[in-house]
Chains A and B, each alone.
Chain A
Amino acid sequence: MKKLKLNKDYLITYGMVIGFYILMSILKGTGNLSSLFSGLLVPICVYTILAVSLNLTVGILGELSLGHAGFMCVGAFSSAFFSMCMKDIITNSFVRFFIALIISALVAALFGIIIGIPVLRLRGDYLAIVTLAFGEIIKNIVNILYVGKDSDGLHISIKDSISLGLKEDGKVIINGAQGITGTPHDSNFTVGIVLLLITLFVVLNFMNSRSGRAVMAIRDNRIAAESIGINISKYKLMAFSISAALAGVAGALYAHNLSTLNALPKNFGYNMSIMILVYVVLGGIGNIRGSILAAAILTVLPELLRGFADYRMLIYSVVLIALMLFNASPKGMEIKEKISPSRLLAAKKQTKEVQ
Chain B
Amino acid sequence: MAMLDVTNLGISFGGLRAVDAFEVHIEKGELYGLIGPNGAGKTTVFNMLTGVYKPTDGVIKLDDKNITGMKTTQINQAGIARTFQNIRLFSQLTVLDNVKAGLHNGYEYSTVAGIFRLPSYRKMEKAMDEKALELLEVFDLDKEASLLAGNLPYGKQRKLEIARALATNPKLLLLDEPAAGMNPNETKELMDTIQLIREKFDMTILLIEHDMKLVSGICERLTVLNFGQVLAQGKTSDVLNDPEVIKAYLGE
- Which residues of the other chain, B, contact A213 by a CB distance below 8 angstroms? 93, 97, 100-101, 104
DSSP majority for the A interface?
helix
Give the docked Cα–Cα distance between A266 and B8 (Å): 63
Kindly provide the distance from the CB of B54 to the nearest chain A CB, expressed in whole angstroms: 14
Q: Mark B160-172, 1 if CB is under 8 A from A, else 0.
A: 0000110110000
Would A210 and B151 count as touching, CB distance under 8 A? no
Partner among A2, A224, A229, A286 whose Cβ is within 8 Å of the Cβ of B105: A229
Kindly provide the distance from the CB of A235 to the nearest chain B CB, expressed in whole angstroms: 9
- Which residues of the other chain, B, contact A223 by a CB distance below 8 angstroms? 52, 84, 88
A156 sits at the interface (CB 8 A): no
Kindly provide the distance from the CB of B188 to the nearest chain A CB, expressed in whole angstroms: 27
Give the docked Cα–Cα distance between A220 and B94 (Å): 12
A217 sits at the interface (CB 8 A): yes
Q: A221-B90, A229-B168, A352-B148 are in contact. Are A205 and B76 (CB under 8 A)?
A: no
Would A205 and B115 count as touching, CB distance under 8 A? yes
A80 sits at the interface (CB 8 A): no
- Which residues of the other chain, A, contact B147 by a CB distance below 8 angstroms? 351
Q: Which residue of A lies closest to B110 (CB)?
A: A211
A122 sits at the interface (CB 8 A): no
- Which residues of the other chain, A, contact B102 by a CB distance below 8 angstroms? 228
Would A210 and B107 count as touching, CB distance under 8 A? yes
B146 sits at the interface (CB 8 A): yes
- Which residues of the other chain, B, contact A231 by a CB distance below 8 angstroms? 73
Q: Could you say which of B81, B92, B164 has the most chain A C-beta atoms within 10 Å of its C-beta? A: B92
Which residues 131-156 of B have a CB within 8 angstroms of A? 145-148, 150-151
Give the docked Cα–Cα distance between A354 and B151 (Å): 8
Would A229 and B73 count as touching, CB distance under 8 A? yes
A214 sits at the interface (CB 8 A): yes
Would B81 and A2 count as touching, CB distance under 8 A? no
Partner among B73, B96, B114 whose Cβ is within 8 Å of the Cβ of A2: B96
Would A229 and B77 count as touching, CB distance under 8 A? yes
A12 sits at the interface (CB 8 A): no
Which residues 228-250 of A have a CB within 8 angstroms of B? 228-232, 238
A35 sits at the interface (CB 8 A): no
B187 sits at the interface (CB 8 A): no
The total of interchain contacts (Cβ-Cβ below 8 angstroms) comes to: 112
Would B77 and A351 count as touching, CB distance under 8 A? no
- Which residues of the other chain, B, contact A2 by a CB distance below 8 angstroms? 94, 96, 145-146
Give the docked Cα–Cα distance between A227 and B96 (Å): 18
B241 sits at the interface (CB 8 A): no
- Which residues of the other chain, A, contact B52 by a CB distance below 8 angstroms? 223
Q: A227-B76, A230-B73 are in contact. Are A210 and B124 (CB under 8 A)?
A: yes
Partner among A208, A219, A227 whose Cβ is within 8 Å of the Cβ of B82: A227
Q: Could you say which of A211, A219, A226, A228 has the most chain B C-beta atoms within 10 Å of its C-beta? A: A228
Partner among A1, A221, A232, A352 whose Cβ is within 8 Å of the Cβ of B88: A221
Kindly provide the distance from the CB of A145 to the nearest chain B CB, expressed in whole angstroms: 34
Give the docked Cα–Cα distance between A208 and B122 (Å): 12
A194 sits at the interface (CB 8 A): no
Partner among B92, B114, B167 whose Cβ is within 8 Å of the Cβ of A228: B167
17 A-B interface contacts by CB (under 8 A): A2-B94, A205-B117, A209-B111, A210-B108, A211-B111, A213-B93, A213-B100, A217-B93, A221-B91, A226-B72, A227-B50, A227-B72, A227-B81, A229-B73, A230-B104, A348-B146, A355-B150
Q: A209-B111, A213-B97, A229-B73 are in contact. List 19 more A-B contacts (CB 8 A).
A: A201-B115, A205-B114, A205-B117, A206-B111, A209-B109, A209-B121, A210-B109, A213-B104, A220-B91, A223-B84, A224-B88, A226-B73, A226-B76, A228-B164, A228-B167, A232-B73, A348-B146, A351-B147, A355-B150
User: Which B residues form the contact surface with A (CB < 8 A)?
Assistant: 50, 52, 72-73, 76-77, 81-82, 84, 88-94, 96-97, 100-102, 104-105, 107-109, 111, 113-117, 121, 124-125, 128, 145-148, 150-151, 164-165, 167-168
